[in-house]
């Protein structure tokens, strides 16, 4: 049993390193990531047919939020529909190079940073350099 757990940890580590290595499309350094960790990266524009909850980094509980809520780097959002209708939450990114996006579905936990990058982060594809 312990051997299976050890193998699972190694495979998870290999997968994480592979994803990191292959994702050369964002030019973000550790210092940039640290600097933007508390920076607002978006805002909820509208909520249709449901409610939205936010979980900030370090929080244990989800908190109900409404329109015009400022979203920070590291926030998670989840939406719940009213009476079986499809919920739709429109979110505007602070980075004006990125279009607004729609969060839809039931109880999906989505990281805001998956769709909205902080201003000043280059979103253009980077050319990987092989050594």
Summarised one tens digit per residue, pLDDT across range 80-108 is 888 778 888 899 888 777 788 888 776 56
- pLDDT band, residue 25 (cuts 50/70/90): very low
Exposure on the CB side of residue 78, measured as CA atoms within 13 A = 10
Separation of alpha carbons 43 and 93, rounded Å? 7
Tell me the pairing of strands 88-93 and 40-48.
antiparallel
Distance of CA 11 to the CA centre of its chain: 24
| Residue 63 pLDDT | 94
What digits encode the pLDDT tens for the residues 48-65? Answer: 988 899 998 888 899 999
DSSP per position, the chain: -HHHHHHHHHHHHHHHHHHHHH-TT----HHHHHHTTTSEEEEEEEEESEEEEEE-TT-SS-EEE-TT-EEETT-EEEEEESTTPPPEEEEEESSTTS--EEEESSS--EEGGGT-PPTT---SPPPP---
| Residue 44 pLDDT | 92
- pLDDT above 80 (res 18): no
- pLDDT band, residue 120 (cuts 50/70/90): low
Q: Between 25 and 54, whose confidence is greater? A: 54
**Cα Rg of the chain (Å, integer):** 18
Where do we find the tokens 């926030």? 75
Residues of the chain with pLDDT > 70, as a percent, come to: 60
């Amino acid at each position: 049993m312990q051997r299976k757990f050890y193998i699972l940890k190694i495979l998870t580590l290999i997968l994480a390193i592979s994803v990191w290595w292959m994702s050369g499309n964002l030019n973000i350094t550790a210092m940039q990531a640290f600097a933007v960790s508390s920076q607002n990266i978006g805002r909820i524009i509208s909520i249709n047919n449901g409610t939205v909850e936010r979980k900030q980094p370090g929080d244990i509980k989800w908190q109900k939020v409404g329109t015009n809520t400022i979203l920070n780097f590291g926030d998670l959002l989840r939406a719940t529909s009213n009476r079986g209708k499809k919920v739709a939450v429109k979110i505007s990114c602070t980075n004006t190079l990125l279009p607004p996006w729609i969060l839809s579905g039931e109880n999906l936990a989505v990281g805001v940073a998956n769709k909205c990058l902080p201003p000043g982060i280059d979103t253009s594809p980077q050319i990987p350099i092989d050594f």
